[in-house]
Amino acid sequence: MRKKRFTVIGNCQGPFVAQALMQKPNFADRYELQHTPAVHVIEKSEIKAHVSRLKDLDLVVHQPILNADRFGGFETNTLRGALQGRVPLICMPSVYFDGYFPTLSTISGLTTPAGLVHDMAAFHAFDLGWDAQKTERALYEEDIFGTAFYKAAFEQALLGLTQRETDAGVDVRVSDFLGGFGRGEILMHQFNHPTSTVFDEMARRICACLGLSVTPSETRQELDTVIWPVWPWVRAALSVEGQTPLNGGSDVLRFRGQTVSMSDYISGAFQAYAQMADAQRAGCRRRTPELRAVLAAT
């Protein structure tokens, strides 16, 4: 019997969801994968050809994609308009969740020893004239922001993910999983790199949408280019009262499998910030004002 063909369209998370699905025996017995790279690595000129092949598939799993100018036929409304009624579609969220790492973000065009990941608290420290030693001690050796900050940030991140799921009309949610299981175990390596536990759960829920029962299996491949540490005070702040601190996660920064000391991270980040154009630096000053206010008062 011919197997059905499917693909997953999304960001860097997409291929990992596809792999998790293929590790579910009931799914793998029925479907074979037509690989689609993460959309941000596909040249704009090549998107039309990728989209044209989707009409011959039996299932398309996709994340919300909003930028029609950059992503053309992959943009969610365009994709739905082209395929609904012709190819079964299952929409899943893009799992952006900074609840364990509320000071992290990106700064366009700048890299650090953690790649594209920036600690905005480190930027504000640099901009306020702190030296590297003071920054490392304040940010990574003690709790400068306090328990209430981390508790509120986790809830805000959860609300944000839930709202994005609703706005996108996803068929498979993951916010409830992060809001439940994620209070006992760290489910993110950094703000947009979920652990394999999340991918495994997403695959289970996609199978449920298809009416497929799922036997226990484990997704072993990790989206772990950057693993940001979850500090002891963050674990304690986010733990459910009466329970032990959060399980999982890392106590050290790792980039592409190598440990990076926080002093090396600060040094590299400060070098990047010293090269910023005035306009970009001024824009970053206005971001995360709650972090800057704490540092400025210290």
Q: Which part of the chain has CATH 3.40.50.12080?
A: 4-96+168-209
CATH class of 4-96+168-209: alpha beta
Buried b / exposed e over 54-79, threshold 16 CB at 10 Å, is beebbbbbbbbbeeeeebbbbbbeeb
- Asked if 138 and 298 touch (Cβ cutoff 8 Å), the reply is yes
Helix/strand/coil for 59: strand
* CATH tag, 104-153+226-296: 1.10.10
How far, CA to CA in Å, does 194 sit from each of 107, 133, 191? 20, 31, 8
- Asked if 45 and 72 touch (Cβ cutoff 8 Å), the reply is no
- Asked if 89 and 83 touch (Cβ cutoff 8 Å), the reply is yes
Residue in 253, 230, 257, 232 with CA at minimum distance from that of residue 244: 232
> Between β-strands 258-260 and 253-255, what pairing exists: parallel, antiparallel or unpaired?
antiparallel
pTM of the entire predicted model? 0.94
Buried b / exposed e over 131-155, threshold 16 CB at 10 Å, is ebeebbebbbeebbbeeebbeebbe
Element (DSSP H or E) covering residue 3: none
Tokens 């011959």 correspond to 56
Tokens of 20: 């998790």
**How many other CB atoms are there within 10 angstroms of residue 24's CB atom?**
23
Q: Going residue by residue through the chain (298 aa), what tens digit of pLDDT does each one get?
A: 789 999 999 999 999 999 999 999 999 999 999 999 999 999 999 999 999 999 999 999 999 999 999 999 999 999 999 998 999 999 999 999 999 999 999 999 999 999 999 999 999 999 999 999 999 999 999 999 999 999 999 999 999 999 999 999 999 999 999 999 999 999 999 999 999 999 999 999 999 999 998 876 666 789 999 999 999 999 999 987 666 678 899 999 999 999 999 999 999 999 999 999 999 999 999 999 999 999 999 9
Residue 123: DSSP 8-state = H
* Total count of residues recorded for the chain: 298
Q: Which part of the chain has CATH 1.10.10?
A: 104-153+226-296
pLDDT for 217 equals 66
